[in-house]
């Protein structure tokens, strides 16, 4: 356990986390283009922990009549499905199973563009929206249409959609974004957000989040702690860079640091100059200075200072890397990446790979840690993504 005492989230359901399933769109040509009036939606799409990068000529997600449409080919092929275009019958052929597409697909005698999944024509209920041809000749389909057919789990946050393949036994019907009412059970779905993977929030979004919060934190320090505000340290680039080197989501790790340090005001036991941004070795008891638990770490880079709580790191960069390494220990059983030097003395104490997701840090990083991972995501990361 990293610290004595835990954080219990009060009023966990103070934000709506919209949950729904998702797929859509394909490069197609049809003889019956429908009305198209849209604006691009600034969405980051993450599929099975990989960020989808849209090329300059590729169709990006759009909003049409307050409904989100996205390109099916890119998304479905990223999930391992096969997509073909049957020009003779003006239909999209999606293959989910090995026997999904036969040599002779069903005949389309309607002149309407349609979707065929494993040789079955997708029926689109009234009110779901219809396929729409973009000016670039790309057919877009409302997300709800193919979501119900292709059975994926989606977590929706401002400016990001995280899509995960779902085991067959977990597949359930979905709700429309506008119809969905969040309940306490729905927060369990955040458990699919992994510690490992690329960052999703940008440096600009993280900085904008701090800029928005600064007036509130300044007032809090004056009113509650009667202390001067400590300027935010310049750590964003370090978290994104070092996180990428370990394949750890540096953006969310940064949010964890914000949580652990009280927006870098260090209102707890750890002090600012210790460069300890995640409470490493802060057990509630001050160090004696006689500790000799370096565990292979260079003692010129980490210090056990008598009277202090938690480790002290020689530089902010070492402190950030120790944080990232500690997350790495929880998330995977793999050795450190090639060329990396151990800077986390507590690395060996972690049961390797026991917490591959942020919410599985509950009860491990903090004691008792109820809602600890959810707090990182809901109270910090989702607010970052609002920008």
CB-CB contact of 322 with 280 (8 Å) = yes
Q: Is the pLDDT of residue 117 over 70?
A: yes
| Annotated domain spans of the chain | 26-181, 203-384
Instruction: Give the pLDDT band of residue 42 (cuts 50, 70, 90).
Output: low
Q: What is the pLDDT of residues 202-227, one digit of tens each?
A: 999 999 999 999 999 999 999 999 99
Neighbours of 309 (CB within 10 A): 21
What pLDDT, on a 0 to 100 scale, did the predictor assign at position 158?
Answer: 56
What pLDDT, on a 0 to 100 scale, did the predictor assign at position 135?
Answer: 74
Mean pLDDT of 1-21: 32
Q: What is the pLDDT of residues 286-308, one digit of tens each?
A: 999 888 899 999 999 999 999 99
Q: Kindly state the tokens that stand for 101.
A: 């597409």
Q: Is the dihedral of CA 351, 199, 267, 309 positive or negative?
A: positive
CB-CB contact of 50 with 198 (8 Å) = yes
Mean pLDDT of 125-153: 70
CB-hemisphere CA count at 13 Å for 377?
A: 29
Q: Which residue has the higher pLDDT, 297 or 285?
A: 297
What pLDDT, on a 0 to 100 scale, did the predictor assign at position 112?
Answer: 80
What pLDDT, on a 0 to 100 scale, did the predictor assign at position 22?
Answer: 28
Mean pLDDT of 85-101: 74
Mean pLDDT of the chain: 78
Buried/exposed 360-378: b ≥16 CB within 10 Å, e otherwise: bbbebbbbebebbbbbbbb
H/E run at residue 381: none
318: Cα separation from own chain's centroid: 25
β pairing state of 302-303 and 312-313: antiparallel
Q: Any residues with CB less than 8 A from the CB of 291 and at least 6 apart, and which?
A: 304
Instruction: Give the pLDDT band of residue 27 (cuts 50, 70, 90).
Output: very low
Q: Is the pLDDT of residue 179 over 90?
A: no
Q: Which residue has the higher pLDDT, 259 or 153?
A: 259
Mean pLDDT of 125-129: 73
What pLDDT, on a 0 to 100 scale, did the predictor assign at position 13?
Answer: 27
| Residue 196 DSSP one-character state | B
168-177, 298-307, 319-328: least confidently modelled range: 168-177
Q: Is the pLDDT of residue 16 over 50?
A: no
Helices (H), 34-142: 72-78
Q: Is the pLDDT of residue 230 over 70?
A: yes
What pLDDT, on a 0 to 100 scale, did the predictor assign at position 155?
Answer: 61
Neighbours of 31 (CB within 10 A): 9
Instruction: Give the pLDDT band of residue 186 (cuts 50, 70, 90).
Output: very low
Q: Is the pLDDT of residue 40 over 70?
A: no
């Amino acid at each position: 356990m990293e610290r004595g005492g835990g954080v219990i989230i009060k009023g966990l359901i103070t934000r709506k986390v919209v949950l729904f399933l998702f797929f859509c769109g394909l490069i197609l040509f049809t003889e019956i283009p429908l009305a198209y009036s849209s604006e691009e939606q600034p969405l980051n799409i993450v599929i099975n922990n990989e960020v989808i990068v849209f090329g300059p000529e590729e169709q990006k997600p759009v909003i049409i009549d307050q409904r989100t449409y996205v390109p099916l080919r890119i998304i479905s092929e990223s999930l391992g499905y096969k997509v073909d275009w049957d020009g003779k019958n003006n239909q999209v052929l999606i293959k989910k199973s090995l026997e999904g597409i036969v040599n002779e697909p069903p005949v389309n005698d309607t002149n309407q563009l349609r979707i065929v999944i494993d040789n079955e024509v997708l029926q689109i209920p009234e009110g779901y929206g219809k396929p729409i041809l973009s000016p670039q000749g790309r057919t877009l389909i409302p997300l709800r249409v193919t979501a119900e057919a292709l059975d994926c789990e989606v977590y929706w946050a401002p400016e990001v959609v995280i899509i995960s393949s779902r085991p067959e036994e977990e597949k359930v019907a979905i709700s429309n974004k506008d119809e969905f009412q969040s309940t306490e059970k729905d927060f369990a779905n955040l458990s699919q957000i992994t510690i490992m993977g690329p960052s999703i929030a940008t440096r600009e979004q993280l900085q904008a989040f701090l800029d928005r919060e600064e007036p509130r934190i300044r007032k809090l320090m004056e009113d509650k702690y009667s202390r001067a505000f400590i300027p935010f340290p310049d750590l964003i680039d370090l978290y994104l860079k070092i996180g990428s080197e370990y394949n750890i989501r540096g953006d969310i790790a940064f949010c964890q640091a914000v949580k652990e340090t009280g927006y870098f005001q260090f209102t707890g036991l750890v002090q600012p100059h210790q460069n300890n941004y995640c409470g490493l070795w802060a057990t509630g008891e001050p160090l004696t200075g006689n500790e000799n638990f370096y565990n292979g770490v260079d003692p010129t880079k980490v210090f056990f200072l008598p009277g202090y709580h938690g480790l002290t790191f020689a530089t902010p960069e070492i402190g950030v890397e120790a944080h990232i390494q500690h997350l790495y220990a929880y998330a995977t059983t793999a050795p450190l990446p090639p060329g990396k030097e151990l800077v986390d003395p507590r690395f060996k104490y972690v049961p390797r790979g026991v917490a591959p997701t942020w919410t599985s840090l509950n009860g491990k990083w903090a004691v008792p840690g109820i809602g600890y991972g959810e707090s990182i995501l809901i109270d910090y990361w989702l607010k970052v993504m609002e920008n």
